[in-house]
Structure 1
Amino acid sequence: MLRHRARAHDRDRHRAARSRAACPDRVPRGGSRRADPRRGHGRPADEAGGQARDRSLRRDGRDGAAPVVQCRPAGRRGGDALIHEQADIETVLHFPTRGRNLLRLQGDLLGAYALGIRNLFVCVGDPVTIGEYPHGSNNVDVTATGLLSMITHAFNAGVDRSGTSIGAPTSFFAGAAVAPSAPDLEREARLLARKAEAGARFVLTQPFYSIDPLLALRETYEKVAGEPLTVPVIAGVLPLMMSRHAEFLHNEVPGIEIPEAARNRMRSAGDDDDRAWEEGAAMAIELIAALREEGVAGVYVMPQFGRYDRAAEVVEAARGPATM
C-alpha cells in the first residue's frame, strides 16, 4: 500500500512538473494522441510498397501519430519527404551524425528543410561496422548534443555553425534518444539532461518491456539534474514475435533488456507463430496501458520483419477512451 501511494505521488509530481513547464509548440502527433507504427526504410525500390502501407494505416485510422521514418541500421536513408508529400503523413526524420562531417550535416539539414521536413530525431547512430558498409567512414564530427544545440541556437535563429546567415530561420522541431535500460543509468540521465539543455523538444526511448526502466530513469534524472524530467517522452514499444526473437533481442542487441518473466511468457507460447504473436502483442498492449497510467507523452510501435499489419493491430488494440 505504501509503495502504491509513493508511486502515485511520484506520478502526480511528474505530471505537475510537466504542466508547469512551458509547453512546446507541438509534439510530433504521437505525443498528443496514442501510438504510431514506426516505418522502416528499405531501398528506393521499396518505396511504392511502403507508401501503400502508410496510406493503408492512415485510411484505417491507425496512424494516431506521426510515423517515425527510420533508416536501415548504419545504412541508407530514402524517401522521407516523398512519404510526407504523397502519403500525407507527418514524418520524423531519423538524423544520425555518425559518418557525416560538419559541412555535410549542415547541407543535409538545409536539404531536408527545403523538402518540407520539420521533425528531426537526432542521434549519433550505429557504428558502420554493423551495417552494410563496414569499411565506410565512422567519424563523428558533431555529437548528438552538439547537433541539437546547432539546430536550436543556430539554424532556428537563421545562421549556420559559423554564424553566417542561411537566409531565414528554420523551424526544426528536434528530439533526442534515451535508453532507459542503459547499464549506467546515471550517465544516461546526465546525457539526457545535456540534450534537454541543448534544445531537445522530445525524447524517443529504446524499447523496454516493463514500466520499471522508465520509473528508474525518471528517478535518476531528477537526482542528477535536480529537477523532474519535463521533456515529453515517447516510449518505444517493440512487440515480440516469438521466443527466439525475444532471446535474440535480449542477448544480442545492446540497450535492450527483456525481463525473465517476459521471456518465459514467450517460451510458454511455444513454436506456433500465431500463438506466439498473440502473446507478444498482449504484452505490448499491457505495456502501453501502463505507460498511459504513468502519463508518458506517447508511444511508437516498431514493426518487425516488415509486418506493419501487426504493428497496426497493436496500435488499434491499445486505443482506449483516454488520450495518451
Structure 2
Amino acid sequence: MSKKEQELSLETVLEVIGENKKLIPTKNATVQPVALMRLGLFLPSLKRKGKDTGNINIDASKELQSLELARAEGYTDIRISGPRLSMETDFKVWVGIILAFSKYGLNGNTVELPFSEFATFCGYLPKDKDKSLRTRLADSLARLRGTTIRLSSESDKQGVVSGLLSRGKWDEVKDTMVLIADESLWELYQFDRQVLIQMFILRQLANKGTAQALYTFLESLPEKPIPLSFARIKRRLMLTSPNNQQNRVINKAIDELKAVGYLDGDVVKRDGEWHLLIASRTPRPDIKTVPGGYKADKKNQDEDE
C-alpha cells in the first residue's frame, strides 16, 4: 500500500458503548449533527459577493427543538445568525473542534492541545503548518465564535444567546490552542441523530466547495429520499449567482460526487423544475477507483458559487 493510500485508508468508527452504537470521530471520519448539515450552516465560498451575502440568518426551530436546553426552558424559537461559514476553511476547523472535544473534552467544556495537533485534526498537512495557517485558523475561530444561537420563548419574554464556540484562545509562544464550549449546548457536539462524514471524500473534493456542501447535505438525508429539487438545493447552498449559472454549478457538483464514487443518480426535469433522483449513495467508496486522489486542483476550483 502506498503512503498516500495509508493516509486515506478508512478506520472503523463505530464503537459499541453499552447497548447503543455511537459514531466516534477519527482522523479519517468525523461526526456531525444531522440538523447542522440540513440547515446549511457551512456553505460554498462566494466568488461574487453581493449585498447581504456575507451573513446568514437561519430559523432552526424545527431542527433544534429537541435540544435539552430548549425543552427544559420552553424555548420554541431558535435562530442561528452570523458570518457566512465556508466549507473550504470553517468546516475544517469545526471538524477539528469536534475531534478535539472527542479526544480531550469528555470531562469538561475546555480542551487544550498543541497547535500542530489541532491543525492535523482540521485536515492540514505538516507542510501547511506555518504562520499564515495560524492566521487562517484564528480568523475561522472568530467566525465560529461570532455565529450565535438564540433561543427564546414564544412570547419572547425569556431567552438565551450562545454560540457554536464559547471561546477560542491560541498562544504562539507555547504553541497551544484552547477551546471552550457552552456546556448547555453540548448536544451540538454529541447529537442524538448523527451522520458520518468521511474525510477522504472531502479531501477528494478539495477546492470544490459546492460539491463538498452538497455532499454533507446528501449525507444528512434519509436512506431513501424523495426526488431532490434544484430549488431545495439552491436554498441549502445559498447560491447567489443567476439562476442558469446556479443550475450549472449544481450539475457540476453532482458530476464531481459521481466521479469520486459517492453518488449514483440522474438529473431529470419534472413540471418545469430540475430534480436529482438519487439511486444510491456510497459513504465508503473504494478510493483506489478515484484517479488523482488527494491532490487539490485549483484549476478545477468552482468559478462562481
TM-score (ref. length: structure 1): 0.29
TM-score (ref. length: structure 2): 0.30
Greater percentage in strand: 2
Greater percentage in helix: 1
